[in-house]
Amino acid sequence: MKELIKKFKNRKIAVIGDLILDKYIYGEVERISPEAPVPIVRVLSEEYVPGGAANVAANISTLGGNPFLLGIVGNDQYKDILMQKTEELNIPTYGIFTDNNKTTIRKTRVIGLNQQLLRIDHENTDYIETHMEEKFINRLKEIEDLSAIIISDYAKGTISKQLILQLIQFSKENYISLIIDPKPKHKEWYAGSTLITPNKKEAQTMSGIIIESEEDIIKAGKILVNKFDSDVIITAGADGMYVFETGKRDKVQGVREKETSELTPRSAPPRRINLLNTIEGELKNSGRGVPLEKGEQKGVDQLTTSNSQLTINNLSISHIPTVAKEVYDVSGAGDTVVATLALALSCNATLNNAAILANHAAGIKVGKIGTKPVYLEELVKEVEQSP
């Protein structure tokens, strides 16, 4: 697994999406205001960090990759702060364009008592104009040896329908993986991408399935696979990740060298799940495509693999359990996941192994307060210490 992580070095990943400047105000809370029933925060420190698509690029950089960030900022003082913060993380800024009709998107979070007390957003969510879409595509075409493209869609106006169509076409023509961290508002635009990575709430909204159980997640995932004609990874917080793999990535990118067996990561112990009702009879009277443990009877009521994996009509479904950790802050965890996935897949990792690695990276991130990237050394240490 360490050998796989070492391959992250200098992988060129383009990140296009909504750039956000995150501001954190840290303070102490000792009393309630006499003016209103709200806490009074005595400010101790403040900091700015790259957020949104810029945080995705930050994670790629700190994990050893070579990010190319494309997005827009307003013509204001906050543009300069965001540019400075991205440059400090070795992220090139020549793909960042100024739009005089926009303000630089900002999220201000007030932290006290080791938790977020308030968030204030400054944004203009109008869609970008056509000439800005053309700038993005032209800049993208200038990047040589591009390994993958990430669309970081926060539904703040940078990602338009026409831009996504052009990115999908570009990725297919150049045999490059296109990974989308989605927003339900734009669900009709994502068909034809390589991989979609919704969280549980987003998967519920986009699929129309109310998710209350593992069976619901499986149903929702199958709907999304069919809707988008792509692989899907649903991130489910404390419940880990659910991977739905169609095999499309191999067909789109051509035959690529797969990981050797010695690079297969250690993972959580086997877990039994009952999926008889979930697959709605599709596996009745057939155990085909379902890997079984030695000595287990061929059947569909109890399906077991190292990560609860099964195959339904050429769709491979796996559950990757999370590693128990103390959660301090989940903000930015999705950015860390999609960045790690892109790096791993660009190194020809299997989707399942890329997801396991992203799961480790997310576990590191939620242990940090604020929008913070994960560093290569942290990920290596986490993998080495995993059971």
Selection from 143, 145, 147, 190 nearest residue 167 by Cα: 190
Buried (b) or exposed (e) across 171-207, using 16+ Cβ within 10 A? beeeebbbbbbbbbebbebbebbbbbbbbbebbbbbb
Please state, rounded to an integer, the average pLDDT across all residues of the chain: 85
Q: What are phi and psi of 260, to 5 degrees?
A: -75, 160
pLDDT of residue 159: 97
Alpha carbon of residue 257 to chain centroid: 24
- What would the mean pLDDT of 294-308 be, rounded to a whole number? 34
Confidence band for 251, pLDDT divided at 50, 70 and 90: low
- What would the mean pLDDT of 174-194 be, rounded to a whole number? 96
Tell me the CATH architecture of domain 2-270+305-385.
3-Layer(aba) Sandwich (3.40)
Stretch (H or E) spanning 333: helix 333-346
Residues tagged active-site: 335
Token readout for 72 is 């827009």
Selection from 356, 125, 359, 159 nearest residue 263 by Cα: 356
- Give tens-digit pLDDT for 60-118: 999 999 999 999 999 999 999 999 999 999 999 999 999 999 999 999 999 998 889 99
